Amino acid sequence: MDVLSDVIAAMRTGRPHSARRDKYAPWGVRFASADEAGFHVVLRGSAWLIPQDGEPVALAPGDVVFLAHGQGHALAGALDAPLQEVRLLPDGTWSNPPDPGEPRSGCPDTVTLCGTYRLDRDRARRLLAELPEVVHLPARVGSHRSLRAAVELLGMELEEQRPGTDAIVTSLLDTLLLYILRAWWESELAAGRARGWAAGLADPAVAAALRAVHGDPARAWTVAELAAAGGLSRAAFARRFTALLGEPPLTYLTWWRMTVAGRLLRHDDLSVRQVAGRAGYTSEFAFAKAFKREYGVAPGQYRRGRTA
């Protein structure tokens, strides 16, 4: 069981969006805060990422920035460039008014690749809590080669718009999100700063337990069984799991079961009783009580709200 892929699938909602844009000086756009995670890539030229809080970040060709928490920010060709507001549209895309004085011919000063992911914040917080407001992955020779390859493929598809582009772009955006998270976590591990999920997935005992839970969430796991999966004593495992992930193993198990239940209610036609069974509950009443405690609404109401 690939735990990271499993959690990404559970936390993302709707369809991701991306666009390739040519920019002509002077240019600048401001993005309001939104319930999305987003990224920017500079394909050609240079740009400044201006966060809502913190210092501006200079971006060179090939640089990737990821904003996991939906914070408002600006992207501009220069720090003193005029900024145009960009609005989030109902379909999840951003409006794109023309830049002031944008010519219609000639070589653009900057070419950018931008994208957004709609997230279920309740499900995503455990995965993304350790990420800073801005993750900057500079382009360096030999670094993050898979990420660079995905960026290049995405840019080509958005530029050429050939048959099959819509499906390819959606798949590449999902791939890119995984590569961005992996690249950041690997850099944190290499620097000895890894915490939370990054540290947990890198720890053999905790990672083995996470794979067991994600592989069979309906099983009546005990701490002793999860400890055995990781090759540790019960007490040592419980201490390590809690220290790295910030919560006890069975608390995580309950959270993941509720995450599985929410995904099934959103996307499947199973009855509430069947969903309860898939989430490890033999009693529909006990499941409904646990679900309402987690989501604040009953399973049926949650399903109606997500399909309305």
- Determine the pLDDT at residue 308: 46
- Could you tell me if 19 and 110 lie in one domain? yes
132 three-class SS: coil
User: Hey, what are 6's tokens?
Assistant: 């499993």
| 8 A C-beta contact, residue 47 and residue 24 | no
Element (H, E) at 150: helix 145-160
Strands 135-137 and 47-51 turn out to be unpaired
Residue 43 forms part of a structural domain:
yes
- Could you tell me if 154 and 211 lie in one domain? no
Q: Give the pLDDT of the chain (308 residues) as one tens digit per residue.
A: 588 888 888 777 777 888 888 999 999 999 988 878 899 999 999 999 999 888 999 999 999 999 998 889 999 999 999 999 887 666 656 666 544 445 556 788 999 999 888 877 777 777 787 888 999 999 876 678 888 899 889 988 888 878 888 888 888 888 898 899 888 888 888 777 777 777 888 899 999 999 999 999 999 999 999 999 999 999 999 999 999 998 999 999 999 999 999 989 988 789 999 999 999 999 999 999 999 999 999 999 988 876 44
303, burial (CB in 10 Å: exposed 0-12, middle 13-18, buried 19+): buried
- Determine the pLDDT at residue 100: 46
Q: Which of 16, 43, 244, 41 is nearest to 135 (CA)?
A: 41
Q: Which of 108, 36, 37, 99 is nearest to 66 (CA)?
A: 37
Q: Which of 90, 91, 92, 110 is nearest to 29 (CA)?
A: 110
Residue 257 forms part of a structural domain:
yes
- Determine the pLDDT at residue 217: 94
Distances (CA, A) of 13 to 84, 89, 119: 28, 16, 5
| 8 A C-beta contact, residue 181 and residue 208 | no
Q: Which of 217, 277, 287 is nearest to 249 (CA)?
A: 217
| 8 A C-beta contact, residue 33 and residue 71 | yes
The domain that holds 12 is classified in CATH as 2.60.120.280
The domain that holds 290 is classified in CATH as 1.10.10.60
- Determine the pLDDT at residue 267: 80
Q: How many folded domains does the chain comprise?
A: 2
Q: Which of 124, 139, 131 is nearest to 188 (CA)?
A: 131
User: Hey, what are 205's tokens?
Assistant: 């005992």
How far apart (Å, rounded) are the C-alpha atoms in residues 234 and 246? 17
- Could you tell me if 141 and 173 lie in one domain? yes
Which residues, at least 6 apart from 104, have a Cβ–Cβ distance to it below 8 Å? none
How far apart (Å, rounded) are the C-alpha atoms in residues 116 and 270? 30
- Could you tell me if 14 and 97 lie in one domain? yes
Residue 198 forms part of a structural domain:
no
DSSP for residue 77: S
Residue 197 forms part of a structural domain:
no
23 three-class SS: strand
Strands 28-31 and 84-86 turn out to be parallel
Query: Which residue segment(s) compose the domain that 286 sits in?
Result: 203-307
- Could you tell me if 164 and 296 lie in one domain? no
- Could you tell me if 237 and 138 lie in one domain? no
Q: Model's pTM, two decimal places?
A: 0.82
Residue 283 forms part of a structural domain:
yes
- Could you tell me if 117 and 257 lie in one domain? no
- Determine the pLDDT at residue 94: 64
Residue 167 forms part of a structural domain:
yes
Residue 108 forms part of a structural domain:
yes
Distances (CA, A) of 152 to 62, 146, 258: 9, 10, 37
- Could you tell me if 174 and 228 lie in one domain? no
Residue 122 CA, distance from chain mean position:
12
Final residue of a domain: which of 131, 155, 190?
A: 190
Sign of the C-alpha dihedral, residues 38, 186, 242, 253? positive
